[in-house]
Chain A
Amino acid sequence: MPQKATSQKSKQVSPKVASQSIKTAPLKAVKPAVKKKDDENATDMGDVADEWMQGKTLLKPPDQLQLSEAELKEELTRVLTANNPHAPQNIVRYSFKERCYKPISNVDQLAIHFSLDGNMLHKDSDEARRQKARTSIAEEYVADSTAVDGSEDGRKENLGPDEEKESEDKGSRGKKEQKLTNQFNFSERASQTHNNPLREKASQTEPPPRANFSATTNQWEIYDYYIVELQKQERTKEKQKAPPVKKEDEKSKKKQSTTESQSDDITKVSPKVVQILERMVNQNRFDDIAQDFKYFEDASDEFREQEGTLLPLWKFQYEKAKKLAVTALCWSQVYKDLFAVGHGSYDFTKQGHGMLLFYSLKNSTYPEFIFKTDSGIMCLDIHVGHPHLVAVGFYDGSVAVYNMKEMGSQPIHKSTAMTGKHTDPVWQVKWQKDDMDNHPNFFSVSSDGRVTSWTLVKNELMYMDVIKLSVDGVALEGQGDDQLPTMACGTSFDFHKQIDYLYIVGTAEGKIHKCSKAYSSQFLETYNAHNMAVDAVRWNHFHPKVFISCSADWTVKIWDQTINTPMFTFDLNAPVGDVAWAPYSSTVFAAVTTDGKVHVFDLNVNKYKAICEQLVVAKKKNKLTHVEFNPVHPIIIVGDDRGYVTCLKVSPNLRKMPKEKKGQDVPKGPEVEVAKMEKILSLLREPTSAVKK
């Protein structure tokens, strides 16, 4: 506790005596007590305690008065006064005023023997208060920064009396009891986060663009310029007077241009413009492919004896038809770059919607026309005379005719159950020449065994069953209702190129029937062609007797319609999806197989093997479904079951013309092609006839 002033004793004793009495009294009092203790503890504590006590024996000055008990107890009263006994009483000083020595009455009675400037403050003084305030702030800070788990009560017990007082003081100061750190389970921790390094970044903007200009001004320059300007004005005035009509024209033109510029919004741009732009973009983008299409001829063909290659060109796909198999392909005979693609599915379990798309070679990225259908498309054909008419056969058995001129999504004609639609998928449709009343008409073949003729009469689609196919080889014509005729499933057909009435029908049973439009009751001929369904039959473009067929039984067969057995049989080691004759040669044909290969044959070159066998799909899983030759360009398109259509260029070896002889005009034309085929056939006929014999 801060103390400055010494407490005053009530009894004032002379210092010497007092000090003696104070000194002696406790000594005497202590000694017997100590001795007593010694006696008691001697046995217990032994020498160690004695030695300890001996060290404390008090030394007495030799000249100390020996006083008896009574004398010691006697109380001597001394009075302390403020007068200094040693201070001289007789100090005189000379007084100049009175011209004599005079005693000084007030003598300094104060004598300082010892002085110590203490550093204690009285607790009520201002300085002490300030000090308290300072320390309490510091303590608080410490208390706040340390956390203590121990309870307040437990801690108080540990506090000494002083501390308790302190805490009481604090309490009286109205402060919260500060928390103490747990001394046994406390460690200070410090950490510093990583300081991101500073980086300088500076940039400078470009100054505003500036330009230099220089000229000279003087009176004649100004004059000249004014004159020129005046002349100009006069001229314009004359012009304005002369043709006032023209001006109006200009105005109207301006108005037009402004209205045009107002419709700058992209949504208002006519689709035609967009189409043209799209083609322009694609022309640039696929320039190398276009160049290949037009000019590239595989140079390595010269060094290969017979074999040729297929060069992939464009790849056509449409986002919405991605999962739909290509089920039909057809080139437009009028627009040589346009072809139609039918999308559907051959999988019985995965039937859904279909898609009819028209692509142009000029734009491979997006179809020219899009028609969405409810049922999967199975086949289609573009009319030769009316290229806007497209006949389509659906999986649900109906046939429809789309008009490309009308950009609606609906067909202009569609057969219904009322109007004689098929009850099974329509496998092929084929336009015929317009009938005598100039009505377009087409034929269709379906699994329900009917071959039906459809005629577009005004707004109606008239139908007529041409033939009903039966299993036992003879077409039955309503032979009594008691026995239901078992129908054969027609899967494909083709009409003879020259003989109008003649056509052949391939069936799911593997048979091919030669029929005539004239006889609905019987087949002209039946060929036991394949062991599985006939996927396609096609007449040769040149030779009137020859047709080709392909089947899922891995074979492609070439027939002479007059002979019951195939002329050629090729095994392609995979189900054959489609086969097509080349339009430029009677002996060249292409077949696609489900293992993703295109096989191109030229009988004139090799009668046993394909001269080109090429994998054209990206993945082996993709099955090729259809193939079609372009009517003029040396390209083919193949469709696969993932919805892709690939365009391939046929290399020179695959379209070999008869070798040119020097100085001779090489005969060209259909006759030559017929002769070429005939020659090959004749080679074969003899051995076959020999076998027969």
Chain B
Amino acid sequence: MAEPTEPKKEEADYKRVHSFPLIRHTDMPEEMRVETMELCVTACEKFATNNENAAKMIKETMDKKFGSSWHVVIGEGFGFEITHEVKNLLYMFFGGSLAVCVWKCS
């Protein structure tokens, strides 16, 4: 898919096209999923340069909305194995380079 002849254009195109949030894995109910996704997008756009703050914002908002002990990981590359409460996990990509993992486990 990536053609080596036009790497620059490809990259620009990629950045433009791949800005939408993309849910990789979730087991949340519909309503909760939409809300969480929007929250993640808002946080990542607000703190575009500071993933830590974005994660903090997401965590605190989720704690308020859905009860405590949410955990948020935002990064460009990481591996994880987590235990989460069923129906309380969202793993999504955003902006073409960010991965956000939100889960609840108290």
Contact = CB atoms under 8 A, between A and B. Distances in A.
Contact of B81 (A212, A219, A226, A227): A212
B76 interface: yes
B17 to A, nearest CB: 7
A214 B81 CA distance: 4
B91 A213 contact: yes
Given A210-B105, A211-B27, A225 B82 contact: no
Nearest to A231: B1
B85 A208 contact: yes
Contacts, number: 73
User: Interface SS of chain A: helix, strand, loop or mixed?
Assistant: mixed
Contact of B82 (A212, A219, A227): A212
A92 interface: no
B96 A226 contact: yes
Given A209-B86, A215-B91, A226 B18 contact: yes
Contact of B99 (A209, A210, A222): A222
B97 A229 contact: no
Nearest to B24: A225
Contacts of A209: 85-86
Interface string B74-86: 0111111111111
- Counting chain B CB atoms within 10 Å of each CB, the highest count among A215, A217, A226, A227 belongs to A217
Given A218-B77, A219-B77, A210 B84 contact: yes
A349 interface: no
A125 interface: no
A223 interface: yes
Interface in B17-61: 17-18, 22, 24-25, 27
Nearest to A224: B1
B66 interface: no
Given A222-B97, A226-B22, A230-B17, A217 B77 contact: yes
B27 to A, nearest CB: 7
B77 A211 contact: no
A266 to B, nearest CB: 28
Nearest to A227: B1
A420 B30 CA distance: 75
Contacts of A230: 17-18
B70 interface: no
B83 A212 contact: yes
Interface in B61-106: 75-86, 89, 91, 93, 96-99, 101, 103, 105
B79 A213 contact: no
B83 A223 contact: no
Interface string A320-335: 0000000000000000
A119 interface: no
Contacts of A214: 79-82
A217 B105 contact: no
A222 B17 CA distance: 13
Nearest to B75: A217
Contact of A213 (B14, B77, B84): B84
Contacts of A223: 14, 18, 96
A216 interface: yes
B80 A215 contact: yes
Contacts of B27: 211
Contacts of B75: 217
B79 A217 contact: yes
B38 to A, nearest CB: 18
A229 B82 CA distance: 25
Contact of B103 (A208, A213, A227): A213
Contacts of B22: 225-226, 229
A216 B82 contact: no
Nearest to B104: A208
A215 B76 contact: no
Contacts of A222: 93, 96-99
Contacts of B93: 222, 225-226
Nearest to A208: B85
B83 A211 contact: yes
A227 B81 CA distance: 25
B78 A216 contact: yes
A222 B93 CA distance: 7
B14 A211 contact: no
Contacts of B91: 213, 215
Contacts of B1: 227
B56 to A, nearest CB: 19
B86 A219 contact: no
Contacts of B84: 210-213
A31 B77 CA distance: 131
A371 to B, nearest CB: 53
B4 to A, nearest CB: 15
Interface string A186-224: 000000000000000000000011111111111100110
Nearest to A209: B86
B89 A213 contact: yes
B75 to A, nearest CB: 7
12 contacts: A209-B85, A211-B83, A211-B84, A211-B89, A214-B80, A215-B24, A216-B80, A217-B79, A218-B76, A222-B98, A222-B99, A225-B22
Interface of B: 1, 14, 17-18, 22, 24-25, 27, 75-86, 89, 91, 93, 96-99, 101, 103, 105
Interface of A: 208-219, 222-223, 225-227, 229-230
Given A211-B83, A215-B101, 18 more contacts: A209-B85, A210-B83, A210-B84, A211-B84, A213-B84, A213-B103, A214-B82, A215-B25, A215-B79, A217-B77, A218-B77, A219-B76, A222-B93, A223-B18, A226-B14, A226-B22, A226-B93, A227-B1
In order of increasing CB-CB distance, the 6 nearest A-B pairs are: A214-B81, A217-B99, A216-B79, A218-B77, A209-B86, A226-B18
